Chains A and B, each alone.
Chain A
């Protein structure tokens, strides 16, 4: 979906970033006194979610740029930290939690990068390992067309030894990454799914082949890689499709260069269901066998989740026995029955992921 309207927060109107983005978009921005003006305009549309993808609001992040991943106690969380560069996304995935996460959802980008780098520098000055990603509240790479964020972020991470940046995407917007000094401190990662799910539920995203070609390119430029099977969606024939997807991944990239692969089955807040039914009446993904999880989210019945995980893990291990696999938000029973161990038995998921980051990205602990 292309940006049709650019709103500029009055407070950042003079930021050099704003001029650059407006020029690249070819849009004259409308200066607004506050975010409410934008929210009101988006909310007035018949489909505010769709409308929120057609406008871009340039503003400043008034809160912290680095946040903890909103995991819950009931399930094992990866301890990833979010670099909050902006929110929402232009692509239109049926299952996207961001549709109901923001009220209303608006594509917004924060231009007060002095504050962002101040926070990052504080982290870089410490001794603790940090795994930081930009792909939680938005897609990491959609901003590449209009901003030069990666050209600042990647070299900044490259110049230190305690933190790794993960850019998670469903796009192929990697052009800006080729010439950057990354020092393996940036992991380029892709959300992957079966071609059927990509075609039917991930509107506006790159195909599986295109994503894997982009991953192979990044690998050739020396970047470490990661893949995220999330959300894993159950349907008739999904097991075979996931198996083929895994085989395809390893036909493009080397297992040795993969820092981690995460698995997470489709889960959603109950509020998302009516939204999906309204916006995507042809989609069937909310009609699986869901139960209410311990965190209040709807998730597939546990034996069904474990069955598909076991298949996927067996398939990955057949291709890449050494590649680290973890679950996004699953409990110890799932870990034990599907991976053969629980995260606490090996020091916790945080520790396991830090180890992978140290190994693949040459981080220094302490």
Chain B
């Protein structure tokens, strides 16, 4: 462990009451459960004492927050710690705290964010931060750093959604641009519906673009009655809600395109093609080429399709489709 190489650390036993467990200055970990540590502490004791720093009666915890919490849970009164020399500056303490975590396990996004956020408080947001981050095993690309470092400032519900993989880094970066209340609403929605990254992006983009086009806030778009009715509809399962939500937003964002699709669909139904034919319009109705697929397994079947095809060619709905009369 890197902390073993700190010559100025002095090992001693201190009362737990002298450790300030409310001071999160150097807390990197997001884990709060200590159950996995209890058995080890009971049987083997404290193998790697926490690092603390402080001059007076109260010590600030630098690393070992969970070990200290576990000792509290076990009802211990004293705890072995290593006390750092009071002259060690906050940056050094922070580096020790980060290294203590990164050397044990890969950090999750919020822990990485905390580490970068705290480091940036000492080093700014430029080259020095990137160099320090690299040494400590954190992302060193400044563009990535900038994407990650503010995640830990999000409302807790969004941080939880990130930790549970309900929202991705890319979605989180987009949420950063929204007012906190609106970002929370999205996080709740994505968490509840367990949407894939692509669907999260699609919904965010649709809402953002509707808001900008109509000069309203994203929050206002989200508060729309019809949208809320879909979210709270008891008769729909999760998949149905997601489909309806996306369809509603798409209709609001692209009303003419959706209308044309509906007209096409209506005319296609009139053709009564059944399962024998599949008529596909040109993508976005941009080109003029329609595709018709059919499948058969005998000449008799093909002849039957031929008759049906003739009927289809004469059907007024086909003419309407091709000439886009109703568009």
Contact A304-B287, Cβ < 8 Å, known A284-B213, A287-B209, A287-B213: no
B213 lies within 8 A of A303 (CB): no
Contact A303-B260, Cβ < 8 Å, known A284-B212, A289-B255: yes
Per-position contact with B for A264-304: 1 when CB-CB < 8 Å, else 0?
00000000000000000000100101011110000101111
Q: Is B324 an interface residue (CB 8 A)?
A: yes
* Residues of the A chain whose Cβ atoms lie less than 8 Å from the Cβ of B288: 331, 333
B256 lies within 8 A of A293 (CB): no
| Total chain B interface residues with beta-carbon distance under 8 A | 17
Per-position contact with A for B284-327: 1 when CB-CB < 8 Å, else 0?
11111000000000000000000000000000000000001001
How many angstroms between the C-alpha atoms of A289 and B284 in the bound complex? 11
Q: Which of A289, A292, A294 has the most CB of B within 10 A?
A: A289
Q: How far is the CB of A258 from chain B (nearest CB, A)?
A: 31
- Taking CB as reference atom, which chain B residue is nearest A284? B213
Find residues 186-214 in chain B having any chain A CB closer than 8 Å to their own CB.
Answer: 209, 212-213
B327 lies within 8 A of A294 (CB): no
B212 lies within 8 A of A301 (CB): no
Q: How far is the CB of B174 from chain A (nearest CB, A)?
A: 12
Q: Is B39 an interface residue (CB 8 A)?
A: no
Q: How far is the CB of B118 from chain A (nearest CB, A)?
A: 27
Per-position contact with B for A318-332: 1 when CB-CB < 8 Å, else 0?
000000000000010
How many angstroms between the C-alpha atoms of A293 and B285 in the bound complex? 10
* Residues of the A chain whose Cβ atoms lie less than 8 Å from the Cβ of B256: 289, 301, 303-304
Q: Is B236 an interface residue (CB 8 A)?
A: no
Question: Contact residue range for chain A?
Answer: 10 to 19
- Taking CB as reference atom, which chain B residue is nearest A283? B212
B284 lies within 8 A of A292 (CB): yes
- Taking CB as reference atom, which chain B residue is nearest A293? B286
Per-position contact with A for B253-287: 1 when CB-CB < 8 Å, else 0?
01111001000000000000000000000011111
Find residues 241-260 in chain B having any chain A CB closer than 8 Å to their own CB.
Answer: 254-257, 260
* Residues of the B chain whose Cβ atoms lie less than 8 Å from the Cβ of A304: 256
* Residues of the A chain whose Cβ atoms lie less than 8 Å from the Cβ of B324: 303
* Residues of the A chain whose Cβ atoms lie less than 8 Å from the Cβ of B257: 289, 291, 301
* Residues of the A chain whose Cβ atoms lie less than 8 Å from the Cβ of B283: 291-292
Q: How far is the CB of A131 from chain B (nearest CB, A)?
A: 28
* Residues of the B chain whose Cβ atoms lie less than 8 Å from the Cβ of A294: 286-287
Find residues 142-167 in chain B having any chain A CB closer than 8 Å to their own CB.
Answer: none
A289 lies within 8 A of B254 (CB): yes
Q: How far is the CB of B47 from chain A (nearest CB, A)?
A: 51
Q: How far is the CB of A106 from chain B (nearest CB, A)?
A: 23
CB-contact partner of A301 in B213, B285, B287, under 8 A: B285
How many angstroms between the C-alpha atoms of A291 and B286 in the bound complex? 8
Q: How far is the CB of A335 from chain B (nearest CB, A)?
A: 12
How many angstroms between the C-alpha atoms of A134 and B48 in the bound complex? 74
Residues of A whose CB lies within 8 Å of any CB of B are: 74, 284, 287, 289, 291-294, 299, 301-304, 331, 333
7 contacts across the A-B interface (CB closer than 8 A): A291-B283, A292-B286, A294-B287, A299-B286, A301-B257, A303-B256, A331-B287
Interface pairs A-B: 4 shortest CB-CB: A291-B284, A287-B213, A303-B327, A287-B209
